[in-house]
Amino acid sequence: MDDRGGAGGPRRRRTGSRPSSQGDGGPAAAEEEVRDVDAGGDAPAPAPEKDKHGGAVMDSGYSNVSCHRLQDSLFSSDSGFSNYRGILNWCVVMLILSNARLFLENLIKYGILVDPIQVVSLFLKDPYSWPALWLVIVASVFAVVAFHVEKGLAVGALTEQAGLLLHVVNLATILCLPASVAILLESITPVGSVLALMAYTILFLKLFSYREVNLWCRKDRASAKAKAKAAFTDKVNGGTAQLMGTVSYPDNLTYSDLCYFLFAPTLCYELNFPRSPRIRKRFLLRRLLEMLFLTQLQVGLIQQWMVPTIQNSMQPFKDMDYSRIIERLLKLAVPNHLIWLIFFYWLFHSCLNAVGELMKFGDREFYRDWWNSESVTYFWQNWNIPVHKWCLRHFYKPMLRRGYDRWTAQVAVFLVSAFFHEYLVSIPLRMFRLWAFTAMIAQIPLAKIVSCFFHGNYGNAAVWVTLIIGQPVAVLMYVHDYYVLHHEAQSAGA
Protein backbone atom coordinates (compact mmCIF):
# COMPACT_ATOMS: atom_id res chain seq x y z
CA MET A 1 0.00 0.00 0.00
CA ASP A 2 1.40 3.36 -1.01
CA ASP A 3 2.31 5.66 1.78
CA ARG A 4 2.46 9.16 0.25
CA GLY A 5 2.98 11.05 3.48
CA GLY A 6 5.72 9.08 5.26
CA ALA A 7 9.45 9.14 5.11
CA GLY A 8 9.43 6.04 3.01
CA GLY A 9 7.27 7.74 0.47
CA PRO A 10 7.77 7.42 -3.22
CA ARG A 11 10.90 8.67 -5.00
CA ARG A 12 10.90 10.13 -8.52
CA ARG A 13 13.46 8.73 -10.95
CA ARG A 14 14.42 10.01 -14.47
CA THR A 15 14.40 7.30 -17.06
CA GLY A 16 15.69 9.49 -19.91
CA SER A 17 13.93 11.23 -22.76
CA ARG A 18 12.22 9.74 -25.75
CA PRO A 19 11.20 11.44 -28.98
CA SER A 20 7.55 12.08 -29.53
CA SER A 21 5.95 10.18 -32.33
CA GLN A 22 3.10 12.64 -32.63
CA GLY A 23 2.94 16.00 -34.34
CA ASP A 24 3.23 17.26 -37.88
CA GLY A 25 6.82 16.37 -38.58
CA GLY A 26 8.43 19.12 -36.48
CA PRO A 27 11.13 18.47 -33.88
CA ALA A 28 9.94 15.97 -31.29
CA ALA A 29 9.61 17.33 -27.77
CA ALA A 30 11.40 15.35 -25.10
CA GLU A 31 9.16 14.09 -22.36
CA GLU A 32 10.15 12.59 -19.04
CA GLU A 33 8.51 9.57 -17.61
CA VAL A 34 8.10 9.71 -13.85
CA ARG A 35 7.53 6.53 -11.93
CA ASP A 36 6.68 6.01 -8.30
CA VAL A 37 8.92 3.65 -6.44
CA ASP A 38 7.69 1.81 -3.38
CA ALA A 39 9.61 1.88 -0.16
CA GLY A 40 10.42 -1.77 -0.58
CA GLY A 41 11.23 -1.52 -4.27
CA ASP A 42 14.35 -0.53 -6.12
CA ALA A 43 16.96 1.62 -4.43
CA PRO A 44 16.29 5.32 -4.95
CA ALA A 45 18.32 7.08 -7.66
CA PRO A 46 20.83 9.62 -6.45
CA ALA A 47 19.79 13.24 -6.67
CA PRO A 48 20.83 14.87 -9.96
CA GLU A 49 23.89 17.07 -9.90
CA LYS A 50 23.41 20.79 -9.91
CA ASP A 51 25.38 23.18 -12.07
CA LYS A 52 26.55 26.57 -10.81
CA HIS A 53 23.23 28.14 -11.80
CA GLY A 54 21.21 25.54 -9.94
CA GLY A 55 20.04 23.66 -13.01
CA ALA A 56 20.09 19.92 -13.30
CA VAL A 57 22.87 18.35 -15.34
CA MET A 58 21.81 15.46 -17.53
CA ASP A 59 23.85 12.32 -17.06
CA SER A 60 24.01 10.93 -20.57
CA GLY A 61 26.98 8.65 -20.18
CA TYR A 62 30.47 8.71 -21.60
CA SER A 63 29.40 7.97 -25.17
CA ASN A 64 28.26 11.61 -25.73
CA VAL A 65 31.16 13.37 -24.04
CA SER A 66 32.84 14.33 -27.40
CA CYS A 67 32.37 17.98 -28.43
CA HIS A 68 34.40 17.92 -31.66
CA ARG A 69 33.53 16.87 -35.17
CA LEU A 70 35.04 17.09 -38.63
CA GLN A 71 34.39 20.60 -39.97
CA ASP A 72 36.06 23.53 -41.75
CA SER A 73 36.46 27.12 -40.62
CA LEU A 74 33.77 29.46 -41.90
CA PHE A 75 36.14 31.46 -44.08
CA SER A 76 37.32 28.30 -45.85
CA SER A 77 35.78 27.77 -49.27
CA ASP A 78 34.99 24.12 -48.40
CA SER A 79 32.78 25.13 -45.48
CA GLY A 80 29.91 26.19 -47.75
CA PHE A 81 29.22 29.19 -45.53
CA SER A 82 27.88 32.18 -47.47
CA ASN A 83 26.08 34.46 -44.99
CA TYR A 84 28.40 37.50 -44.82
CA ARG A 85 25.64 40.03 -44.18
CA GLY A 86 27.34 41.35 -41.05
CA ILE A 87 30.62 41.92 -42.90
CA LEU A 88 28.74 43.70 -45.69
CA ASN A 89 27.08 45.96 -43.12
CA TRP A 90 30.50 46.62 -41.59
CA CYS A 91 31.86 47.61 -45.00
CA VAL A 92 28.97 50.00 -45.51
CA VAL A 93 29.51 51.58 -42.08
CA MET A 94 33.25 51.96 -42.72
CA LEU A 95 32.55 53.45 -46.14
CA ILE A 96 30.15 55.97 -44.64
CA LEU A 97 32.58 56.92 -41.87
CA SER A 98 35.57 57.28 -44.18
CA ASN A 99 33.64 59.43 -46.65
CA ALA A 100 32.17 61.47 -43.79
CA ARG A 101 35.71 62.24 -42.67
CA LEU A 102 36.69 63.28 -46.19
CA PHE A 103 33.61 65.45 -46.50
CA LEU A 104 34.30 67.11 -43.14
CA GLU A 105 37.90 67.71 -44.16
CA ASN A 106 36.65 69.26 -47.39
CA LEU A 107 34.29 71.61 -45.50
CA ILE A 108 37.04 72.68 -43.09
CA LYS A 109 39.49 73.34 -45.93
CA TYR A 110 37.25 75.00 -48.53
CA GLY A 111 34.07 76.00 -46.74
CA ILE A 112 30.69 75.69 -48.48
CA LEU A 113 31.17 75.88 -52.24
CA VAL A 114 27.65 74.95 -53.38
CA ASP A 115 26.30 77.83 -55.48
CA PRO A 116 22.97 77.45 -57.36
CA ILE A 117 23.62 80.62 -59.37
CA GLN A 118 26.78 79.08 -60.75
CA VAL A 119 24.79 76.06 -61.88
CA VAL A 120 22.52 78.31 -63.96
CA SER A 121 25.56 79.91 -65.57
CA LEU A 122 26.67 76.46 -66.76
CA PHE A 123 23.59 76.29 -68.97
CA LEU A 124 23.31 79.93 -70.06
CA LYS A 125 25.86 82.61 -70.88
CA ASP A 126 23.19 85.13 -71.81
CA PRO A 127 19.82 84.90 -70.03
CA TYR A 128 18.14 86.13 -73.22
CA SER A 129 19.80 83.55 -75.46
CA TRP A 130 18.77 79.87 -75.27
CA PRO A 131 20.56 78.16 -78.19
CA ALA A 132 20.49 74.64 -76.66
CA LEU A 133 16.74 74.82 -76.08
CA TRP A 134 16.11 76.02 -79.62
CA LEU A 135 18.20 73.15 -80.94
CA VAL A 136 16.05 70.65 -79.06
CA ILE A 137 12.86 72.26 -80.40
CA VAL A 138 14.15 72.16 -83.99
CA ALA A 139 14.81 68.42 -83.58
CA SER A 140 11.10 67.74 -84.04
CA VAL A 141 11.45 68.76 -87.71
CA PHE A 142 13.64 65.73 -88.42
CA ALA A 143 11.07 63.40 -86.84
CA VAL A 144 8.38 64.86 -89.10
CA VAL A 145 10.61 64.36 -92.16
CA ALA A 146 11.20 60.70 -91.25
CA PHE A 147 7.46 60.20 -90.75
CA HIS A 148 6.53 61.59 -94.18
CA VAL A 149 9.26 59.58 -95.88
CA GLU A 150 7.80 56.42 -94.36
CA LYS A 151 4.32 57.50 -95.39
CA GLY A 152 5.50 57.92 -98.97
CA LEU A 153 7.18 54.52 -98.94
CA ALA A 154 4.07 52.86 -97.50
CA VAL A 155 1.75 54.12 -100.28
CA GLY A 156 4.34 53.61 -103.03
CA ALA A 157 4.94 57.29 -103.74
CA LEU A 158 8.67 56.78 -103.14
CA THR A 159 10.96 54.00 -104.24
CA GLU A 160 13.11 52.20 -101.70
CA GLN A 161 16.25 53.81 -103.12
CA ALA A 162 14.78 57.30 -102.87
CA GLY A 163 13.53 56.61 -99.36
CA LEU A 164 16.94 55.32 -98.29
CA LEU A 165 18.64 58.43 -99.66
CA LEU A 166 16.22 60.74 -97.84
CA HIS A 167 16.68 58.84 -94.59
CA VAL A 168 20.48 58.97 -94.87
CA VAL A 169 20.41 62.73 -95.47
CA ASN A 170 17.99 63.22 -92.60
CA LEU A 171 20.04 61.12 -90.15
CA ALA A 172 23.33 62.73 -91.21
CA THR A 173 21.84 66.18 -90.66
CA ILE A 174 20.70 65.13 -87.19
CA LEU A 175 24.34 64.50 -86.24
CA CYS A 176 25.93 67.40 -88.10
CA LEU A 177 23.58 70.29 -87.28
CA PRO A 178 23.98 70.36 -83.48
CA ALA A 179 27.70 69.69 -83.80
CA SER A 180 28.11 72.69 -86.09
CA VAL A 181 26.09 74.93 -83.79
CA ALA A 182 28.05 73.78 -80.72
CA ILE A 183 31.37 74.53 -82.42
CA LEU A 184 30.52 77.78 -84.23
CA LEU A 185 28.08 79.49 -81.86
CA GLU A 186 29.90 81.25 -79.02
CA SER A 187 26.80 81.82 -76.87
CA ILE A 188 26.20 78.12 -76.23
CA THR A 189 27.81 76.63 -73.11
CA PRO A 190 29.53 73.22 -72.90
CA VAL A 191 26.78 71.86 -70.62
CA GLY A 192 24.06 73.14 -72.96
CA SER A 193 25.90 71.56 -75.88
CA VAL A 194 26.08 68.20 -74.10
CA LEU A 195 22.34 68.19 -73.42
CA ALA A 196 21.49 69.18 -77.00
CA LEU A 197 23.85 66.60 -78.48
CA MET A 198 22.42 63.90 -76.22
CA ALA A 199 18.90 64.75 -77.38
CA TYR A 200 19.97 64.57 -81.03
CA THR A 201 21.87 61.32 -80.47
CA ILE A 202 18.77 59.72 -78.93
CA LEU A 203 16.68 61.03 -81.84
CA PHE A 204 19.19 59.56 -84.32
CA LEU A 205 19.02 56.10 -82.72
CA LYS A 206 15.22 56.18 -82.49
CA LEU A 207 14.66 57.27 -86.11
CA PHE A 208 17.19 54.69 -87.31
CA SER A 209 15.14 52.00 -85.55
CA TYR A 210 11.90 53.54 -86.87
CA ARG A 211 13.13 53.28 -90.43
CA GLU A 212 14.47 49.72 -89.98
CA VAL A 213 11.28 48.28 -88.48
CA ASN A 214 9.05 49.85 -91.13
CA LEU A 215 11.38 48.46 -93.79
CA TRP A 216 10.96 45.00 -92.28
CA CYS A 217 7.19 45.54 -92.40
CA ARG A 218 7.25 46.43 -96.09
CA LYS A 219 9.34 43.37 -96.87
CA ASP A 220 6.94 41.23 -94.90
CA ARG A 221 3.93 42.72 -96.67
CA ALA A 222 5.50 41.97 -100.04
CA SER A 223 6.10 38.36 -99.08
CA ALA A 224 3.33 35.87 -99.73
CA LYS A 225 4.56 33.34 -97.19
CA ALA A 226 2.33 33.12 -94.13
CA LYS A 227 5.09 31.48 -92.12
CA ALA A 228 7.47 34.38 -92.70
CA LYS A 229 4.70 36.81 -91.78
CA ALA A 230 3.98 35.05 -88.49
CA ALA A 231 7.67 34.91 -87.59
CA PHE A 232 8.13 38.60 -88.33
CA THR A 233 5.04 39.58 -86.34
CA ASP A 234 6.43 37.75 -83.33
CA LYS A 235 9.83 39.46 -83.75
CA VAL A 236 8.55 43.01 -84.18
CA ASN A 237 5.73 42.87 -81.64
CA GLY A 238 7.76 41.12 -78.98
CA GLY A 239 5.57 38.02 -79.13
CA THR A 240 3.06 39.44 -76.62
CA ALA A 241 -0.66 39.91 -77.08
CA GLN A 242 -1.82 43.38 -76.17
CA LEU A 243 -4.92 44.11 -74.16
CA MET A 244 -5.93 46.97 -76.48
CA GLY A 245 -5.41 44.95 -79.67
CA THR A 246 -2.49 44.86 -82.05
CA VAL A 247 -1.57 47.37 -84.74
CA SER A 248 -0.36 46.20 -88.13
CA TYR A 249 1.55 47.98 -90.88
CA PRO A 250 0.81 50.59 -92.27
CA ASP A 251 -1.76 51.52 -89.62
CA ASN A 252 1.11 52.33 -87.28
CA LEU A 253 2.15 55.34 -89.40
CA THR A 254 0.39 58.01 -87.37
CA TYR A 255 1.63 61.07 -85.51
CA SER A 256 0.38 59.72 -82.19
CA ASP A 257 2.31 56.47 -82.66
CA LEU A 258 5.51 58.33 -83.56
CA CYS A 259 5.16 60.76 -80.63
CA TYR A 260 4.65 57.89 -78.21
CA PHE A 261 7.82 56.22 -79.49
CA LEU A 262 9.88 59.43 -79.35
CA PHE A 263 9.05 59.97 -75.67
CA ALA A 264 9.00 56.31 -74.60
CA PRO A 265 12.04 55.14 -72.57
CA THR A 266 13.37 52.91 -75.35
CA LEU A 267 15.48 53.22 -78.48
CA CYS A 268 13.95 50.27 -80.35
CA TYR A 269 10.71 50.78 -82.27
CA GLU A 270 7.85 48.29 -82.22
CA LEU A 271 4.38 48.39 -83.66
CA ASN A 272 2.91 47.22 -80.35
CA PHE A 273 4.71 48.08 -77.14
CA PRO A 274 3.86 46.25 -73.90
CA ARG A 275 1.63 48.54 -71.86
CA SER A 276 0.89 48.64 -68.14
CA PRO A 277 -2.80 48.81 -67.16
CA ARG A 278 -2.63 51.98 -65.06
CA ILE A 279 -0.39 54.72 -63.62
CA ARG A 280 0.74 53.98 -60.07
CA LYS A 281 0.63 57.38 -58.43
CA ARG A 282 2.69 56.48 -55.34
CA PHE A 283 5.36 54.83 -57.45
CA LEU A 284 5.50 57.86 -59.73
CA LEU A 285 5.71 60.26 -56.79
CA ARG A 286 8.65 58.35 -55.29
CA ARG A 287 10.51 58.43 -58.58
CA LEU A 288 9.92 62.18 -58.99
CA LEU A 289 11.14 62.89 -55.45
CA GLU A 290 14.22 60.77 -56.13
CA MET A 291 14.91 62.73 -59.30
CA LEU A 292 14.68 66.05 -57.46
CA PHE A 293 16.78 65.00 -54.48
CA LEU A 294 19.48 63.17 -56.44
CA THR A 295 19.84 66.06 -58.88
CA GLN A 296 20.60 68.42 -56.00
CA LEU A 297 22.93 65.87 -54.44
CA GLN A 298 24.94 65.38 -57.63
CA VAL A 299 25.31 69.11 -58.19
CA GLY A 300 26.39 69.64 -54.57
CA LEU A 301 28.95 66.82 -54.68
CA ILE A 302 30.42 68.09 -57.94
CA GLN A 303 30.78 71.66 -56.69
CA GLN A 304 31.91 70.79 -53.18
CA TRP A 305 34.09 67.76 -53.77
CA MET A 306 35.13 67.22 -57.38
CA VAL A 307 35.84 70.78 -58.54
CA PRO A 308 38.44 71.57 -55.79
CA THR A 309 40.17 68.24 -56.38
CA ILE A 310 40.37 68.85 -60.13
CA GLN A 311 41.63 72.41 -59.64
CA ASN A 312 44.37 71.16 -57.31
CA SER A 313 45.38 68.57 -59.91
CA MET A 314 46.43 71.10 -62.55
CA GLN A 315 49.75 72.03 -60.97
CA PRO A 316 51.03 68.42 -60.68
CA PHE A 317 50.17 67.92 -64.37
CA LYS A 318 51.99 71.10 -65.26
CA ASP A 319 55.06 70.02 -63.29
CA MET A 320 54.72 66.39 -64.45
CA ASP A 321 55.04 65.26 -60.85
CA TYR A 322 53.93 61.66 -61.29
CA SER A 323 53.64 60.79 -57.61
CA ARG A 324 51.34 63.75 -56.96
CA ILE A 325 49.41 63.00 -60.16
CA ILE A 326 48.70 59.47 -58.90
CA GLU A 327 47.74 60.86 -55.48
CA ARG A 328 45.30 63.31 -57.08
CA LEU A 329 43.96 60.57 -59.33
CA LEU A 330 43.18 58.33 -56.35
CA LYS A 331 41.68 61.26 -54.45
CA LEU A 332 39.43 62.08 -57.39
CA ALA A 333 38.40 58.44 -57.85
CA VAL A 334 36.22 58.36 -54.72
CA PRO A 335 33.89 61.33 -55.45
CA ASN A 336 33.87 60.60 -59.17
CA HIS A 337 32.77 57.01 -58.65
CA LEU A 338 30.20 57.98 -56.04
CA ILE A 339 28.68 60.58 -58.38
CA TRP A 340 28.69 58.05 -61.22
CA LEU A 341 26.75 55.53 -59.09
CA ILE A 342 24.24 58.20 -58.09
CA PHE A 343 23.91 59.24 -61.73
CA PHE A 344 23.23 55.62 -62.75
CA TYR A 345 20.44 55.28 -60.20
CA TRP A 346 19.05 58.74 -61.06
CA LEU A 347 18.92 58.07 -64.80
CA PHE A 348 18.19 54.38 -65.23
CA HIS A 349 15.91 53.87 -62.24
CA SER A 350 14.34 57.17 -61.24
CA CYS A 351 14.07 59.05 -64.56
CA LEU A 352 13.31 56.18 -66.94
CA ASN A 353 10.82 54.60 -64.53
CA ALA A 354 9.08 57.97 -64.08
CA VAL A 355 8.76 58.41 -67.86
CA GLY A 356 7.71 54.79 -68.28
CA GLU A 357 5.05 55.15 -65.59
CA LEU A 358 3.62 58.30 -67.15
CA MET A 359 3.42 56.64 -70.57
CA LYS A 360 2.30 53.23 -69.22
CA PHE A 361 5.34 51.67 -70.88
CA GLY A 362 5.45 48.05 -69.72
CA ASP A 363 9.07 47.01 -70.33
CA ARG A 364 11.02 48.43 -67.39
CA GLU A 365 14.23 46.42 -67.85
CA PHE A 366 16.57 49.40 -68.11
CA TYR A 367 19.50 47.64 -66.43
CA ARG A 368 20.52 44.22 -65.17
CA ASP A 369 22.92 43.10 -62.43
CA TRP A 370 26.02 44.72 -63.91
CA TRP A 371 27.49 45.04 -60.40
CA ASN A 372 28.00 41.25 -60.43
CA SER A 373 29.96 41.42 -63.69
CA GLU A 374 32.85 38.98 -63.83
CA SER A 375 33.93 40.23 -67.26
CA VAL A 376 34.08 43.57 -69.04
CA THR A 377 31.80 42.25 -71.79
CA TYR A 378 29.10 41.31 -69.27
CA PHE A 379 29.25 44.82 -67.81
CA TRP A 380 28.70 46.54 -71.15
CA GLN A 381 25.86 44.14 -71.98
CA ASN A 382 23.96 44.80 -68.75
CA TRP A 383 24.48 48.30 -67.41
CA ASN A 384 22.61 50.16 -70.20
CA ILE A 385 19.90 47.88 -71.57
CA PRO A 386 18.21 50.38 -73.98
CA VAL A 387 21.50 50.99 -75.83
CA HIS A 388 22.46 47.31 -75.65
CA LYS A 389 19.13 46.26 -77.22
CA TRP A 390 19.58 48.81 -80.01
CA CYS A 391 23.14 47.65 -80.77
CA LEU A 392 22.10 44.00 -80.67
CA ARG A 393 19.00 44.45 -82.84
CA HIS A 394 20.17 46.97 -85.42
CA PHE A 395 23.93 46.47 -85.62
CA TYR A 396 25.31 43.25 -84.12
CA LYS A 397 22.78 40.72 -85.46
CA PRO A 398 22.57 42.32 -88.95
CA MET A 399 26.35 41.99 -89.22
CA LEU A 400 26.13 38.31 -88.26
CA ARG A 401 23.42 37.77 -90.89
CA ARG A 402 25.71 39.35 -93.48
CA GLY A 403 28.39 36.76 -92.74
CA TYR A 404 30.67 38.58 -90.29
CA ASP A 405 32.04 36.63 -87.35
CA ARG A 406 31.18 37.50 -83.74
CA TRP A 407 34.57 39.08 -82.99
CA THR A 408 34.31 41.48 -85.94
CA ALA A 409 30.74 42.40 -85.01
CA GLN A 410 31.74 43.01 -81.39
CA VAL A 411 34.64 45.26 -82.44
CA ALA A 412 32.31 47.18 -84.75
CA VAL A 413 29.85 47.76 -81.89
CA PHE A 414 32.65 49.14 -79.70
CA LEU A 415 33.75 51.41 -82.57
CA VAL A 416 30.26 52.86 -82.89
CA SER A 417 30.05 53.32 -79.12
CA ALA A 418 33.49 54.98 -79.11
CA PHE A 419 32.38 57.41 -81.83
CA PHE A 420 29.32 58.54 -79.89
CA HIS A 421 31.29 58.86 -76.63
CA GLU A 422 33.79 61.13 -78.35
CA TYR A 423 30.98 62.97 -80.14
CA LEU A 424 29.31 63.83 -76.81
CA VAL A 425 32.55 65.00 -75.14
CA SER A 426 34.89 66.59 -77.69
CA ILE A 427 32.35 68.72 -79.54
CA PRO A 428 30.94 70.51 -76.45
CA LEU A 429 34.50 71.14 -75.22
CA ARG A 430 35.58 72.24 -78.73
CA MET A 431 38.71 70.16 -78.67
CA PHE A 432 39.51 66.78 -80.20
CA ARG A 433 41.85 64.70 -78.07
CA LEU A 434 40.18 61.29 -78.64
CA TRP A 435 40.52 60.29 -74.99
CA ALA A 436 36.95 58.94 -74.83
CA PHE A 437 37.36 57.17 -78.17
CA THR A 438 40.61 55.57 -77.00
CA ALA A 439 39.08 54.54 -73.69
CA MET A 440 36.24 52.72 -75.43
CA ILE A 441 38.54 51.00 -77.92
CA ALA A 442 40.75 49.93 -75.00
CA GLN A 443 37.78 47.97 -73.66
CA ILE A 444 38.36 45.35 -76.37
CA PRO A 445 41.82 44.18 -75.21
CA LEU A 446 40.83 44.81 -71.59
CA ALA A 447 37.87 42.45 -71.98
CA LYS A 448 40.19 39.81 -73.42
CA ILE A 449 42.71 40.18 -70.58
CA VAL A 450 40.08 40.03 -67.83
CA SER A 451 38.34 37.00 -69.35
CA CYS A 452 41.65 35.13 -69.73
CA PHE A 453 43.34 35.86 -66.40
CA PHE A 454 40.56 36.73 -63.94
CA HIS A 455 37.57 34.59 -63.08
CA GLY A 456 34.82 34.64 -60.48
CA ASN A 457 35.32 37.16 -57.70
CA TYR A 458 38.70 38.18 -59.14
CA GLY A 459 37.03 39.07 -62.43
CA ASN A 460 34.39 41.09 -60.59
CA ALA A 461 37.12 42.93 -58.67
CA ALA A 462 38.96 43.67 -61.94
CA VAL A 463 35.81 45.18 -63.43
CA TRP A 464 35.31 47.39 -60.36
CA VAL A 465 38.93 48.56 -60.50
CA THR A 466 38.57 49.60 -64.14
CA LEU A 467 35.38 51.51 -63.31
CA ILE A 468 36.81 53.26 -60.26
CA ILE A 469 40.20 54.19 -61.76
CA GLY A 470 39.43 54.46 -65.48
CA GLN A 471 36.83 57.22 -65.30
CA PRO A 472 38.85 59.75 -63.27
CA VAL A 473 41.79 59.23 -65.64
CA ALA A 474 39.61 60.32 -68.58
CA VAL A 475 38.18 63.20 -66.53
CA LEU A 476 41.63 64.52 -65.64
CA MET A 477 42.84 64.19 -69.23
CA TYR A 478 39.98 66.27 -70.61
CA VAL A 479 40.03 68.83 -67.81
CA HIS A 480 43.79 69.29 -68.14
CA ASP A 481 43.60 69.75 -71.90
CA TYR A 482 40.60 72.09 -71.60
CA TYR A 483 42.42 74.14 -68.96
CA VAL A 484 45.59 74.40 -71.07
CA LEU A 485 43.69 75.17 -74.27
CA HIS A 486 41.39 77.86 -72.87
CA HIS A 487 42.63 79.34 -69.59
CA GLU A 488 46.39 79.26 -70.12
CA ALA A 489 46.07 80.40 -73.75
CA GLN A 490 43.89 83.31 -72.68
CA SER A 491 46.33 84.22 -69.89
CA ALA A 492 49.25 84.14 -72.29
CA GLY A 493 47.38 86.32 -74.76
CA ALA A 494 46.53 88.84 -72.06
Q: Mark whether 337 is an active-site residue.
A: no
Query: Which pairs count as long-range contacts for 412-415, CB under 8 Å and 24+ apart, including other chains?
Result: 414/440, 414/441, 414/443, 414/444, 415/441
Task: Count CB neighbours of 209 within 10 A.
Answer: 20
Q: What is the DSSP string of 57-120?
A: PP---GGG-----S---TTSGGG-----HHHHHHHHHHHHHHHHHHHHHHHHHH-----HHHHH
Evaluate whether 204 touches 175 at the Cβ level (below 8 Å): yes
For residue 368, which phi and psi values (nearest 5 degrees)?
-120, -165
From CA 147, how far away is CA 128, in angstroms rounded? 33
Distance CA 441, CA 61 (A): 73
Count the neighbouring beta carbons within 10 Å of the beta carbon of residue 431: 15
How far, in Å, CA of 329 to CA of 334, rounded?
9
Q: Which residues of 321-360 are buried (b: 16+ CB within 10 A; e: fewer)?
A: eeeebeebbebbbbbbbbbeeeeeebebbbbbbbbbbebe
Which of 388, 394, 421, 480 does the annotation list as catalytic?
Answer: 421
Cα torsion through 262, 267, 273, 277, rounded to 10: -80
The CA-atom distances, in angstroms, between 244 and each of 241, 275, 360, 363 are 9, 9, 13, 16
The residues carrying an active-site annotation are: 421
